[in-house]
Amino acid sequence: MTRTSLVALRGAALGAGLAACAAIAPAQRIASALAKRGDTSDFATRAVRYRLVQEQLETSYITVLGGGGNIEKLFFEADVAPHFSAGWSRWALVVTSKIVLRMRNDSTHSAPIRTPSYMPRIAAYWWGPFRGGNDHGEFVSFTISHHSNGQAGPFF
């Protein structure tokens, strides 16, 4: 991943699963994609702001005989994260219903299938008075999330 595709975040956690961030997203990749299409839109347009929000969303994936950087041996891992969004002129709302399914590839465990992890979240994006320019977009995001491993009691 190139530095231009990374998002610089400045923010502080407000509690478990609650965060407020002021984000400045470098968007040279979006600008170059628009230029290739012959589109001269700047970041004050609604369509480009929608693409900026999409850049922040995680993708769904399925891995077999491994996992996305996991330490334990896995037969498969599925990360399903559908995003439902709505946008207006100055703000956007994204609801994500993420579910992670894993099956161990280890004969020492009596229960190779782990309970699914449920991680729903709601993210709000606000452009307010700072809309960015032709080569960058600026916005504030606020996210509320929850992580449940599907079991009762504390995690540890």
The pLDDT profile of the chain, 156 residues, written as one tens digit per residue, is 333 333 333 333 333 344 444 344 444 555 556 566 665 555 556 666 667 777 777 888 877 776 666 567 777 788 888 888 887 777 888 998 888 888 777 766 666 677 788 888 999 888 766 555 555 556 778 889 888 877 666 655
16 domain residue, yes or no: yes
65 domain residue, yes or no: no
102 domain residue, yes or no: no
Q: Residues with Cβ < 8 Å from 62, sequence gap 6 or more?
A: 76, 77, 78, 79
Give whole-number Cα distances, 10 to 21, 27, 31, in Å: 6, 17, 23
The total domain count for the chain is 1
38 domain residue, yes or no: yes
76 domain residue, yes or no: no
75 domain residue, yes or no: no
Contact 4, 32 (CB under 8 A): no
**Does the predicted model carry a pTM greater than 0.85?**
no
With tokens 């609604």, the residue in question is 46
106 domain residue, yes or no: no
pLDDT of residue 53: 74
Contact 51, 37 (CB under 8 A): no
Give the chain's length: 156
pLDDT of residue 155: 56
pLDDT of residue 122: 92
Nearest of 37, 35, 53 to residue 90 by alpha carbon: 53
pLDDT of residue 149: 74
pLDDT of residue 14: 35
Q: What domain range is 18 assigned to?
A: 3-57+82-97+117-145
103 domain residue, yes or no: no
